[in-house]
Amino acid sequence: MVGRKVISGFRGVIDFYYYMGIPVARTWPRKPSMKRAPEVQATIRIFKQANIIFPQISPEVRQAYRDMVGSTNITWKDMFFRGYISGTLRYFFPPGELEED
């Protein structure tokens, strides 16, 4: 890893860690300063909705996701989010049943 003197010379917050035995450095995400494209804004809304639905998934559906991914390197949570955001999987909740913060 990089020495403390080098780390102290950086501006802002940098995260240092090992990934698969390789030292990695990355800056922490910042809020974009420019306006986001409409496509990005639409994706953010869908992702927010998926995060609201996720904790409400029944144990049976969670197990179905686990069975779907099998021995792949994808987690059942990844499969849920990929399917929901891509539009492959949709969930219906009667009006007022979906709790939003």
Question: pLDDT grade, residue 41 (50/70/90)?
Answer: confident
Give the per-residue pLDDT at 101: 43
- 30-40: average pLDDT: 77
- Provide CB contacts within 8 A for 23, sequence distance 6+: 1, 2, 16, 17
Buried b (16+ CB within 10 A) or exposed e, 11-35: eeeeeeeeeeeeeeeeeeeeeeeee
The neighbouring-strand residues paired with 19 are 22
Q: 82 is written with which tokens?
A: 């990929």
Q: 80 in helix, strand or coil? A: helix
Question: Tokens for 94?
Answer: 């009667």
Mean predicted confidence (pLDDT) in 44-48:
83
91 or 37: which leads in pLDDT: 37
Distances (CA, A) of 53 to 17, 72, 94, 99, 100: 32, 24, 13, 8, 9
The whole-number pLDDT of residue 19 equals 85
